[in-house]
Amino acid sequence: MLAASGHEVRIESRAGAAVGFDDAAYRAAGAQITATAAEVYAADLIIKVKELQPGEFALTHPGQILFCYQHLAPAPALLAAMLERNVSCVAYETVTAADGSLPLLVPMSEIAGRLATQVGAWALQMANGGSGILLSGVPGVAPGKVVIIGGGTVGTNAAKIAIGMGADVTLLDRSAERLRRLEDMFGARLKTCISNPHSIATLVRDADLGRSLLGTILAEYRLADTLVGELFGATPEQRRPRLALAIRLRERALKQLHHEQVRLLAAWRAEPKEDTLEALLLTINAIALGQKMTG
């Protein structure tokens, strides 16, 4: 499609060999085959799957657009390199559809969920340091117990594989409506339970796959709320309702500032002017002040 639209498309030689696509297939589609990654990175737009690796940092150049999974939060070195190289990053995992869904994250979440059960079953083998539990069980021996925390895309797909293997599967989620949908999907093969500290502690303690908890990536931050609730008897929002309201109101203003930042950054890159830089710095100060004033 890109080549047919008149764009020059470069692909590193043997880039698709591992999954059955040889260089000839890409040539037939209109792509140019390059001998090195450096020739590919000379392009203005880079499309790939995995986030940049340290060996690729030096191949990028200012003004380049990088379209791939980014995962910047746990990778400060990657973030610093992208800022230093002045690269514009578009993260697959944050591309949002009109209905609020994350269409580019869903396929990876499906893979992660299915692999989680598969890898968990592997880890239970004695040869791999496990307890020797077979998730499917055998005649005369009960199947293994699997506990899945979170009924999102990752959790649902983990449940599909665990149920398919014949395991005794229990899935926890805070949404009763989501649990109803999952029960309709899987029927009596899936047990469900409302997720709370007590149910998690009880079920995980008895689960054979309890050390390989299967949760959703986007639900990670909720763990902090749970732990704070256990320590103080309430979540931060419950303990400080005014702060929670202030944060909700703050987000509306910050969204406008973020859009303004993108516009100013594009203007600065096109023509570096002192007044553009001053305006850009003011938006940074405004966001910092807004966060400070609302906790």
More confident of the two residues 7 and 256? 7
More confident of the two residues 71 and 66? 66
Domain ranges in the chain are 10-94, 106-218, 240-293
Q: Which of 71, 198, 258, 259 does the annotation list as catalytic? A: 71
pLDDT tens digits, residue range 201-237? 788 777 776 544 444 334 545 555 565 566 556 655 6
How many whole angstroms separate alpha carbon 257 and alpha carbon 57? 29
* CATH assignment, 10-94: 3.40.50.720
Range in 24-28, 137-141, 267-271 the model is least confident about: 267-271
Report pLDDT for 213: 47
- Asked, colleague to colleague, whether 10-94 and 106-218 share their fold, the answer is yes
Report pLDDT for 148: 93
Range in 167-171, 177-181, 214-218 the model is least confident about: 214-218
| Residue 65 vs residues 51, 161, 277: alpha-carbon distances, Å | 13, 37, 21
* CATH assignment, 106-218: 3.40.50.720
Catalytic residue flag (residue 71): yes
Report pLDDT for 218: 41
Range in 16-20, 86-90, 174-178, 253-257 the model is least confident about: 253-257
Report pLDDT for 250: 72
Q: Report the predicted TM-score, pTM, of the whole model to 2 decimal places.
A: 0.64
